[in-house]
Chain A
């Protein structure tokens, strides 16, 4: 998995930081997203996908690795 962020789209909601603090942080001055790990370990992938989906600014892009790993769940969440 490769993660990228677009600080111009970020609206500093901090939801990514709440979801995966090991991967995302916030700039101290304006709260915009800081990416800590562009290639997070597999145990964080589900949480990173959630972070990308809940980001209100759609500022997080997730590129899945080519190998057939876990399917992302785009339908219902419980």
Chain B
């Protein structure tokens, strides 16, 4: 076995190429030629970029790689990510056993059966927003009128956050997930949203309901501050991701009439199509950062203790070792081994909810709007830039 010396250092983040759904060509090239590459980050530090599916799983499933941003060498993928890393922190930046303790306060709310029981309620919400969007003449912006409000309302119901405040928390969430917002501004947005949720948690302590925030604040092993920070994580993660998946999935299908027709004519394929769209779009475009807490051999390389690693989910999901013709969108493929939700103990807590929402959203959209189409030339569709989560600024559609 030959070891390739890490001579070439890629600059991170790399720009996307001609296809806005595909990973940046530089990352794809790394997957093909040098799957564990050196990258140089915004602050001049360097880290390893891990691109293969097998290696990404190995890192994210190995507890010798820490998710704790306080461990020296942790790679911050932007200045705003460093500004948000804490302390104080939340369970996504904590290792077991503390991570396990915090996460298991929430896992009961996301078990498959409990989420499945929400189907009629989510279907009602999806139908309602689609009714509203189609009540006026086309065009409509699918992002602001459909893709964003649905998961926002659903996560509000789960948490017990008043949906009437959606403009406030949607705007703050967008700031928190933008990599170009200056550190000070991103901290202010975080603090304002935390204050809002802390006040809400205090109110729930006096007037409890059966929603998540109320139950968190009732615990004697969690402070109000911890409950507020945990709620912030769920609120932000709960709507931006599903919203962007909805918008990008719609666009990807509209751009691929053969796949769109196959899915529309065979709605029983929708569950599998959601997995394939998760794989194909891999919206967590920054990748997942970790730091080696001890020296680890990985894919023929030695990762020294204290070195940062960025696991690139998008390339891992287009790895030919696991997916035949990975650049093709194929709604009939069994894509379940994708790592779009991450891997290991930090894998997305809300994934059963995200899957159910996306399944209902796509099935309903295709069934009820057989004439769904872009209302602007494709070239005018505006993709988000410099965001942690890939997505669209807007998606003008007609039907």
A residues near B (Cβ < 8 Å) are 9, 11-15, 17-19, 26-32, 50, 53-54, 56-58, 75-78
Interface residues of B in 336-356 (CB under 8 A from A): 336-337, 341-349, 351-352, 355
- Which residues of chain B are near A31, meaning CB under 8 Å? 104, 107-108, 110-111
Separation of A57 and B103 alpha carbons in the complex (Å): 13
Extra pairs beyond A13-B347, A13-B351 (14, CB < 8 Å): A11-B346, A12-B104, A17-B113, A19-B336, A50-B336, A56-B60, A56-B341, A56-B343, A57-B61, A57-B344, A57-B347, A76-B323, A77-B323, A78-B334
10 contacts across the A-B interface (CB closer than 8 A): A11-B107, A12-B111, A13-B351, A14-B110, A18-B355, A26-B113, A31-B111, A56-B342, A56-B344, A75-B321
Q: Tell me whether B108 and A57 are in contact (CB under 8 A).
A: no
The answer to the question of B333 belonging to the interface, with a C-beta cut-off of 8 Å to chain A, is yes
Given contact pairs A12-B111, A54-B337, A56-B342, A30 touches B61 in the complex (Cβ within 8 A): no
- Do residues B323 and A56 form an inter-chain contact, with CB atoms below 8 A? no
Q: Which residues of A contact B104 (CB under 8 A)?
A: 12, 30-32
User: A12–B388 Cα gap in the complex (Å)?
Assistant: 25
Q: How many residue pairs, one in A and one in B, have C-beta atoms under 8 Å apart?
A: 81
Measured CB to CB, the residues of B under 8 A from A are 60-61, 103-104, 107-108, 110-113, 115, 321-324, 333-334, 336-337, 341-349, 351-352, 355
Query: Which residues does chain B contribute within 8 Å of A53, judged by CB atoms?
Result: 337
Q: Whole-angstrom distance between the alpha carbons of A53 and B345 in the complex?
A: 14
Instruction: Give the shortest distance, in Å, between A15 (CB) and chain B (any CB).
Output: 8
Contact status B111-A26, CB under 8 Å: yes
B38 to chain A, nearest CB (A): 27
* Complex CA distance for A44 and B135, rounded to whole angstroms: 47
Q: Say how far B61's CB is from chain A's closest CB, in angstroms.
A: 6
Q: Which residues of A contact B337 (CB under 8 A)?
A: 53-54, 77
A29 touches which of B103, B108, B351 (Cβ 8 Å): B108
Given the complex of chains A and B, what is the CA–CA distance between A44 and B156 in angstroms?
A: 38
Least CB distance, A21 to chain B, in whole angstroms: 8
Given A13-B347, A14-B112, A56-B347: A32 and B107 interface contact (C-beta under 8 Å) = yes
Q: Which B residues lie within 8 Å of A58 (CB)?
A: 61
Residues of A within 8 A of B347 (CB): 11, 13, 56-57
Complex Cα–Cα for A71 and B113 (A) = 32
CB distance from A30 to the nearest CB of B (A): 4
A11 to B346, CA, bound (A): 8
Residues of A contacting B61 in the complex (Cβ-Cβ under 8 angstroms): 56-58
Complex CA gap A68/B140 in Å reads: 58
Residues of A within 8 A of B343 (CB): 56
Q: Which residue of B lies closest to A56 (CB)?
A: B347
Q: How far is the CB of B156 from chain A (nearest CB, A)?
A: 22
Give A18 to B342 CA distance when docked, in angstroms.
17
Chain A hits for B112, CB < 8 A:
14, 17-18, 26
A57 to B61, CA, bound (A): 7
Chain B: which residue is nearest A13 at the CB level?
Answer: B347
Cβ distance B246 to chain A, nearest Cβ, rounded Å: 20
Query: Complex formed: what's the CA distance from A26 to B352 in Å?
Result: 13
With most chain A CB atoms within 10 A of its CB, the pick from B110, B322, B334, B347 is B347
Which are the 6 A-B pairs with shortest beta-carbon distances? A12-B107, A56-B347, A31-B107, A14-B112, A31-B111, A26-B111
Distance of B14 from chain A, by nearest CB (Å): 27
Shortest beta-carbon distance, A27 to chain B, in Å? 8
- In the complex, the answer to whether A76 meets B107 with C-beta atoms within 8 Å is no
Q: Are B333 and A56 in contact (CB under 8 A)?
A: no
Alpha-carbon gap, A77 to B320, bound state (A): 10
Closest to A9 in B: B345
Q: Which residues of B contact A26 (CB under 8 A)?
A: 111-113
Complex: A15 Cα to B339 Cα, angstroms: 12
Q: Are A77 and B110 in contact (CB under 8 A)?
A: no
